[in-house]
A = this chain, B = another copy of it.
Amino acid sequence: MKNISKEDYLSAIYKLRDEAGEIKPNLIAENLEISAAAVTDMLKKLNKDGYVRYQKYKGIKLTPKGEKYAISMIRKHRLWETFLFETLGMPWEKIHNEAEKLEHSSSDELVDKLEEFLNFPEFDPHGYPIPDKAGNIPKQKQVIALSDMNKNEKGKISRISDFKSELLVYTKRQGLNIGEKIFIKDKLEFDGSVVININNKEVSLSKKIASNIFIEKD
C-alpha cells in the first residue's frame, strides 16, 4: 500500500488545476501513482469532509477550506526545498522528494520559523513562488512554456518543473539554470523540438522537455 494522505490529494488537485488546467480522477491517480478506484474512494471522503466539491462523473473543485489546506502544504514543500538547497546544499534534483516527506511532518509553527530563518524567500530553487503565511502567492512575471515560444523569441528561464528528478538532472547538465538567458534559434515543425542558444552554447530540446521549462519573455 502507498498510504497517501489527504494532504497529497489536495496538493495534487491544486497543482493539476494550476498547471494542467483541469482536474480529472485519472490525472490525480497518475500523479499519485495509485489506481483510479482509490481516487474515487478518497474524493468521496474529501467531499464529505468539505475539502472538495465532488459530483461523480461531473466535476472536482476545491472548496475554500481545501484550497487553504493545499496552499499550506505547498508552502511547506517549497520552504523545505529552499532550506535543503540553500542552507544544507543538497543536490537540486533530490530536494523535491525529500521535501515531499518533510511537508507532512512539520507544524505551521515550525514552518513559520523556518521561513523567518530563510529570510522570507519568494521563490523556491526551481522557480516556484512560495505562499506566505496568509496564503498569498507572490506574483510571478508572465511566464510561458518554452515549447509554446517561437523562433527568434528570447527571455530567461524562470521555472523548471520539479516533479521528475530525471528532468532536473538533465536540464542541469545542459546548463539550463534558473535566471539564464535564452534565445530560440529554431523550432522544428516535425516534432516540436526547439533549438536554443544559452550561454553561447546551442542546445536542442524535445517538445516534452521544453514544455516543462518556463520562460519569462523579454
Contact = CB atoms under 8 A, between A and B. Distances in A.
Interface stretch (A87-95, A158-166, A167-175): A87-95
Interface stretch (A28-36, A38-46, A105-113, A202-210): A105-113
A117 B88 contact: yes
B102 A106 contact: yes
- Report the copy number of this chain in the oligomer: 2
A113 B90 contact: yes
Contacts of A198: none
Nearest to A100: B105
A84 interface: yes
A119 to B, nearest CB: 13
Nearest to A114: B88
Contact of A109 (B90, B105, B106): B90
Contacts of A102: 102, 105-106
A128 to B, nearest CB: 20
B109 A101 contact: no
Interface string A119-138: 00000000000000000000
Contact of A90 (B84, B88, B105, B110): B110
A104 interface: yes
A117 B106 CA distance: 20
Given A88-B117, A90-B110, A105-B105, 11 more contacts: A88-B110, A88-B113, A88-B114, A90-B113, A94-B109, A98-B106, A98-B107, A98-B110, A101-B105, A102-B106, A104-B105
Closest 9 pairs (CB-CB, A-B):
A101-B105, A88-B113, A105-B105, A102-B105, A98-B110, A88-B117, A90-B113, A98-B107, A88-B114
